[in-house]
Every structure is written in C-alpha cells, then in structure tokens.
A and B are shown apart, each in its own frame.
Chain A
Amino acid sequence: MNSKGSSNDSAPSSAGRPARGGARNDQDLPAKLSVANALATNGYFVRTNVGLSATTTRGIADVTDIDVLGIRHDITFTPETIAVSCKSGEAKSLSPAKEIFYLRGVLDYVHARTGIVAFTKKRVPPHLRDLARQLDIQVLARNEVEEWCQNIANGLPAPDYFTLARYDGHQTAWQHDRTLADYLKTDYWFHFDFRNLQNLIVHFRKLAPKLAGNEPWHAVQFHDTAAHFALTLFDLCRHIRLLGEGNTVEITAAYLFGGPPTFKARRDLYTKVQQLLSSTGVLAPDGPMLPPLEPPYTAPLAELAIRCVKRPQAATLIPTILQDATWRALGALGTPAREDTNYLAAEKLTQDLLDFLKTATGAPWSPKI
C-alpha cells in the first residue's frame, strides 16, 4: 500500500485516481515485482497496485491501493485471495504497527484470507510480529522476503512475467487507450458481484472496435480484460453450482438482474420501475430508455458458465492462461506448455471466453490461444 512514490506510508492517494505512469518513481516496485512473480509462479492471477475505493457524496473515490493482489479459485469457484503490502523504506515514520492494522482492514474489505507485509529494509521488532500473528497477518523483514518468494515458487520454473522492462511494457500497453484502464484498476474491485459482468461488457464495448489485433497492445488489453471477466464469471459459476444446473439460462438471467429468481417477478419489477421513471419524466419515448430486461448475451453467457461449471478444474485455470498470454505478448517466456487433458480443456474454455467477449461486445477481432 503506498501513496505516490513513497514507501513510508499507506495513506490514501491525495486525490482522485492513483498517479499514472509513476512506476519509475515507485521505490517499492522491485519488491512488488518479485512478490508478484513468485505468486504468479505459484498459480495465482496477480495484479499490482489495485485501487480500492469508497462511495462519497461525489461518487466513487479512491481510498488506497493494494500493492500485490493474488487470486486463484478452487473447484467450487470460491476465490482464495492473498494481499501483500511491500515497504522498502527505512524511515522512522514508517510504522510497522500501522501497516499491520491497515492491512487487516484491507484483507476484510477484499475478503482475502492471507495477508503479508513485506519490509525489505526495515527491521521489525518481535512484539510487532506477535501483533501481526494475532491479526492473522504474516510479517516478512529483510532477507525473509526473498526466502518467502523462493519458497512459494516451490522450485517451479519462473514464467518471468514481472520484470521491470515488461512491467513498463504492460503499463505502456494500457496507456495506448485508457477506456478500460481506470475501470479495471479501481471500480472493478468495488462491486465484486453481478454488476461487474455487465459493467465489464459495457466498458469493453467502447474499447472493442479499436482492437484489430495488429498491435501488441491490442492483445494485452484483450487478454487482461478477459482475465478480469473470468474472475467475475466464476461468481456466476458459483451461483449456478449452488442453485443447480437444471435451468442455467434462467439462473443466469436472474443473476444478471441481481434479484428475483423468476422471469415473471423480474418482469413485474421491471415494469414498475419503467412506470415510475416514465411518470417522473426520466424515461421518454424519444429520450432515454431502460436497458432490455435480459441482455442479448444472456444465453451465450449461460452456455459459457455451464461449460465452466461442468469442468471446474479446467475452468479455474482460465485467468492464469490469460495472464500467461498477456505476458507472452510482452515477450515473457511464459509457463511451460502442457498437454494434459485438463490443461487442453482449460485452453479451450479460455478460447470460448474470448469468443464470447467478441460476440457480446461486437469486437472485430479476438485473440487465439
């Protein structure tokens, strides 16, 4: 957790969105990248500098960010989240106790199970380690950070995603067109429920026509967006698993609507809202109208979800396959190719997801896995 360029405080960003293109000024960056690399090697989908926000009187405002966030799902589509705060400062003002309490709050906010505060230079006294243990947070100091990274990588070949050069390349790829950048960095993590599916498609519709596949950043943005889409799709998959696979289209429609389980109830509610908004003049025949009761992509989304539900072991690999494709597009070595049935199915499901995004957003191109 850091503010602009500093490594000594987890205070929220001064105003608005986090600083852009400030990677070079970020003193914690080397630590963040090695932690991110270790988590990615261990099979996590990893994001760095994830913005967290809260609603204010003026809308959503940034509060802070998570240095490294790793997510992977088990076969019931339940996420296992790990949040890491990296601090490279040595100043007296950098208070380990404050960082520990701060991370505890962040962990609760993002429903993360594991929290780690990594101080690469500062010494942490034993009583603060006890405090961290009581709050279920792991504290790493100095050379422990490197050891932890080696342990978590568990001898697996490093895919070399998060090198400084490639990280810069990734940032630059997102600078070409920022239609989705801010949304994926912050707002996406605010509503981690049914709204994300719809919001992501709506935002991606604006970007999709610009992606023709003839520039490397096209692949990076497409893959990255698809990976975020996969994370939110798993929430729907969990929902379908709980309610049964008998009537997936109906369950998907209800999930997207975010409410009543039956079509009749949804239609009645929709009609009431329509009447209310029409009576107040918000909706007019030649003015703004409500979106359709069921988005046109409901059935294809249900198709995609049921495929994932039927093959959970393969489906949960989708974000990491997309992550691999993103970084390979930036020149990374990537994870070693596999040919076991599960992985082949995972690659196929990933392609299904990319094709779905193409169809749902009217994109002229979609990458091939």
Chain B
Amino acid sequence: MPDLELIGLFEVAALAGVSPSAVANWRTRIPNFPKPVATLKSGPVFRADEVRSWLKRRKEDFAMGKDTVRIGLRLLEVECGIDANIDDMHAAELVDYEASRTAGQAARLAMLVRGQDVIEDELHLKKVASLELGMTPPEYTAAKQLLMEADLLEERTTRLGKHVLNEKVQRVLHADNYRRIGELWLSREHRTPKEEALIETLDSVIERPTDADTIDALRSLKKPDRIAVLELGKNAGIIDAVDDAERLYYSPLLWDVNPKKLAGFLKQADQTAFTKVLQKTRTRPGTDFTSVAEGNAPDPLLAQAISGGILPSYRVKSTGGPRVYGFAPYNGGLLTTAAERTTLDKARALVSCLRYGSEAATITKIRNPLWILNAMSDPNRSYRLNPHSELKLQYGMLIGKQLGRIIETDNHRYMFELIPTEDNLRACAIARELLSTGEILGEKDPGANAALHLVNGTIQHPLREVKIARRKRPARADELEGLIQRLRAV
C-alpha cells in the first residue's frame, strides 16, 4: 500500500476543525463514520482518504438547501414550547421527537452556560438545569454530549486532577451556536419523519400563516401521524390553526394575536401586500408607519392591521410630532410566558423611542441608537442618559411601561433613568439585538436568565431553599375540604 495515509483521532479533529473529543463522540454516535483500520494502544487509526471523503459528504449533506441556523432556532423553540406548555413530559408521543428534544435541550443548556467560561461544579449545573429547564439527569447527559460534539462544551481535567467543564458558547456570533446544533441534528440518522415534519411545519408557519397542505414534510406523513404532529404542536403552543377548518396554521408562540382576529383579517387582506409589509418590518424592527396610521395608506387593511394589533405598533409623540413604529409579529422572541410578552413589549417600546430620537427629534438627533442603549444600561453611569429638554416627551411611554423614570434637572432639562430590574435589563438586551441584527438570537431563551443561578451567592439562587422530593400521596380529607372552600370562593 504505497499511498496509504493513516491518521489518528487528533489528525481527524484537525481536518474537521473540531476538538478530538468531538471526533470521539462522532465515532460512537454516527453509524457511517469510517471504521478504523487498526486500534493501537495510542488509539484508533483511520485511512485519511476515507475520513476526507466522509467529511466532504457530511458537508454536502448540510449544504443541501438546509439552513442549519434556522433549524437550530426551531429546535430551541420546539423544546421551549414543550417545556412551557406540556405537563406530561413522559408521554409516549414524545418518544418520537427524541433527537429534536435532545438538540433543543442542548441549545437551551448552551444558552444557560453561555458566559460562564468554566463550570467547576457540574452537579450544580445539573441541578440548575433540572430546576430551570426541566431536564432530567439522563436528558442533561445527552444534551451535554451533543454540546461536546458541537464543540460548545469541553471536559477538562486540571493539573490537580479536578474535573471541570470549559464553556465555548459564542457570545458574539449567536447564530454560530444554532448552526452547529442544527448541523448535528441533520447528521442524526435516527431522527423520525414526525420530528422532521414538526420542525419544517414550524419553520413554515413562523413568518406567515401557511396552508398545511403546502408543507411537504407534513403532507408526506400518514394521516394519523400528521394529526399527531399538529396536535403536539398545538399542545406545545407552537403551532395552531387560524381557522375553524384547520387548514391555515400559524405560530402562537411567536405571534401574539387572537387567532380569530387574525383569521378575519387574513380573509380580507391582500396576501401579497401583507407579505411585503411583514418582510419590511422584519428587516427593520421599528418601521415608521406614521402615514399608514394616519389613514394615508394605499391599502386601508394595513391601517386595520396596525390598529387591530395584527402588527405590533407603538406611538411616540414629542417635539417632532406623533410617529408610529411597527414591528413584525415574529422577530425571534419567544412568547412562552406573560412575563416574556411584557419584556418583548418593553423592548419594542424602547426601540420605538430610540428610532424617534434618531429620525424625528428636532433639537439633537441620535447618531447611533445603540450608543444611547449602551449608556442607558451602563451601571457606571447609574443607568442615566445625559439631560436633554426633549427627553420627557420622547421617553414618556417608557414610564408607563415601568422601564424607567424621568428626573428634572435644575435648568429645566430632563434625565431618563432606567430602573435596573432583571426584566428591564433583558428588555435592553433584546432591544440591542433588534436594533443591531433585527432578530433576537442571543436573548431568545427566557430560561437562559437562570444562568444567574450558577453563581453562588446571588439573591436569586434557587438551590438555597432545597425542595425535598416527596412521594405522591392521596390528599387528606381536611386538605380536600380546604381546596373545595377555595374553589367556591373563586
């Protein structure tokens, strides 16, 4: 064998641009990974040409029109929806979605550990993941394995023999984290047609209501499976029918609107024009819809969409006159809880005020809204903006939303001060993402707030009050009586 080039695990890792531990994981998890020609004491040895062609095939598979970032995002959304809305996490139906759930849980775990650098106590992380993300220990182990395979987490033993985890989740390029998870999900050979259908359906309905019959992956399923997928989507709060005939579907997790209202609107709306508006607002969160709101729109239905809440919009009034700023229903934020709805609402309000400052302010126009946002959320500046005469009106809406307060200075100017609560700071972070990239990626998972719990000594530390796991037992007569009394009172 004159041209036989043999390589070990380290060389494979170098070829693939991942860590050796990721390659070791591939060997156990991916059935078509090249078999070693020999296993020496130093480890397995592979044929370099086989590894190269396998890596090439794998790359081509990913490039087959699959947007892996979107897949990663959908996986996270599905898992967030299941975790938030489905009580029975041991339901047999969920077995069909194991690969997706593991990938989604991995994405959530990645968001949880992001910024930690080193996790010294893995048991503590496991507990926080259980408490905040509802992950059982086996689920945690599977998610951790996937993150290691994606090179987002790394196990390390220190010189003194301590076992720690190195966190490698991207803080700047969030999309890269989702891309790696999406790629791994695509490489899983044991994923079921049902989970593929669920992800594809969610991806279709996320931007605009879509006819179920036009979704290929859903159409290719047998009828009972199709019903099961849509049922799961409905139970998880991520896919729902707009109309009674259950043909047109949308995503309630991402679109905070009454389905009946939406159905009524869609019946009358010019679909092409509406799609254009959605695209425009998605590209630029906080699009100026002043003329539409004033009734000067070419299509009166758009005015109806704004006034009827189909398109979330915010009215800002200051010295430059009233302006209305509109947002796409979906910008990547997850509307899993009422609190998250409020935070997203605050973030949009912030963006509207800053857009007003940069476009309509009469005295001093904001040159870069991000600078103002940074100053506002900077503890070194006491969360205050410099005094200005226009601030009172321009940021007035934010007072009503309990985002901040206005302080009058001696020379009749006004300072805006952010109230630095956890949700207000999160609103600032979301607004920053809306202004800079137009899409929420880094602050997507509300559960990621639980990262605070990884730091010992913080006020919110959940493991201080240990909840004892108790055995299920039937309620006593006196407890039942009390419950009945309370229900009667309600």
A residues adjacent to B (C-beta < 8 A): 213, 244-249, 299, 302-303, 306-307, 310-311, 314, 337, 339, 341, 344-345, 347-349, 351-352, 359, 364-365
22 interchain pairs (CB within 8 A)? A246-B370, A246-B373, A246-B374, A247-B370, A299-B173, A303-B170, A303-B173, A307-B171, A337-B158, A337-B159, A337-B160, A339-B160, A339-B162, A344-B158, A345-B117, A347-B118, A347-B158, A348-B167, A349-B117, A351-B166, A364-B14, A365-B14
| Shortest CB distance B385–A (Å) | 14
Q: Which residues of B contact A339 (CB under 8 A)?
A: 158, 160, 162
6 tightest CB-CB pairs across the interface, nearest first? Answer: A246-B374, A337-B159, A303-B172, A344-B118, A345-B117, A337-B160
> Contact string, B148-172, partner A, CB cutoff 8 A, digits 1/0?
0000000010111010101110111
| Shortest CB distance A268–B (Å) | 17
Q: Which residues of A contact B158 (CB under 8 A)?
A: 337, 339, 344, 347
Q: Which residues of A contact B159 (CB under 8 A)?
A: 337
Q: Which residues of B contact A245 (CB under 8 A)?
A: 374
| Shortest CB distance B458–A (Å) | 15
Interface residues on B, range: 20 to 34
Q: Which residues of B contact A359 (CB under 8 A)?
A: 17
B168 touches A352 (CB 8 A): yes
Q: Which residues of B contact A307 (CB under 8 A)?
A: 117, 171
9 further A-B pairs in the complex, CB-CB below 8 A; given A244-B374, A364-B11: A246-B370, A249-B172, A306-B171, A311-B117, A341-B120, A344-B158, A344-B162, A348-B166, A351-B166
Report if B74 contacts A (CB, 8 A). no
B374 touches A348 (CB 8 A): no
Majority DSSP secondary structure for residues of A touching B = helix
Q: Which residues of B contact A213 (CB under 8 A)?
A: 10
Q: Which residues of B contact A299 (CB under 8 A)?
A: 172-173
| Shortest CB distance B102–A (Å) | 25
A302 to B436, CA, bound (A): 16
A344 touches B164 (CB 8 A): yes
The CB with the most chain B CB atoms within 10 A, among A213, A310, A348, A365, is that of A348
A365 touches B10 (CB 8 A): yes
| Shortest CB distance A253–B (Å) | 12
Q: Which residues of A contact B166 (CB under 8 A)?
A: 348, 351
Q: Which residues of A contact B436 (CB under 8 A)?
A: 247
Q: Which residues of B contact A337 (CB under 8 A)?
A: 158-160
A246 touches B172 (CB 8 A): no
Q: Which residues of A contact B118 (CB under 8 A)?
A: 341, 344-345, 347-348
A307 to B169, CA, bound (A): 11
A341 to B162, CA, bound (A): 12
Q: Which residues of chain B from 99 to 138 have a CB within 8 Å of any chain A CB?
A: 115, 117-118, 120
A248 to B373, CA, bound (A): 14
A314 to B378, CA, bound (A): 22
Report if B432 contacts A (CB, 8 A). yes
Contact partner of A344 (CB less than 8 A), chosen from B120, B370, B373, B378, is B120
| Shortest CB distance B179–A (Å) | 13
Closest to A248 in B: B172
A150 to B10, CA, bound (A): 44
Q: Which residues of B contact A348 (CB under 8 A)?
A: 117-118, 156, 166-167
Q: Which residues of A contact B164 (CB under 8 A)?
A: 344
> Contact string, B399-439, partner A, CB cutoff 8 A, digits 1/0?
00000000000000000000000000000000010001000
The CB with the most chain B CB atoms within 10 A, among A302, A303, A311, is that of A303
Q: Which residues of B contact A349 (CB under 8 A)?
A: 117
Q: Which residues of chain B from 229 to 265 have a CB within 8 Å of any chain A CB?
A: none
A49 to B160, CA, bound (A): 34
Q: Which residues of A contact B371 (CB under 8 A)?
A: 244, 246
Q: Which residues of A contact B167 (CB under 8 A)?
A: 348
Closest to A352 in B: B168
| Shortest CB distance B180–A (Å) | 14
Contact partner of A302 (CB less than 8 A), chosen from B120, B156, B172, is B172
Q: Which residues of B contact A247 (CB under 8 A)?
A: 370, 374, 436
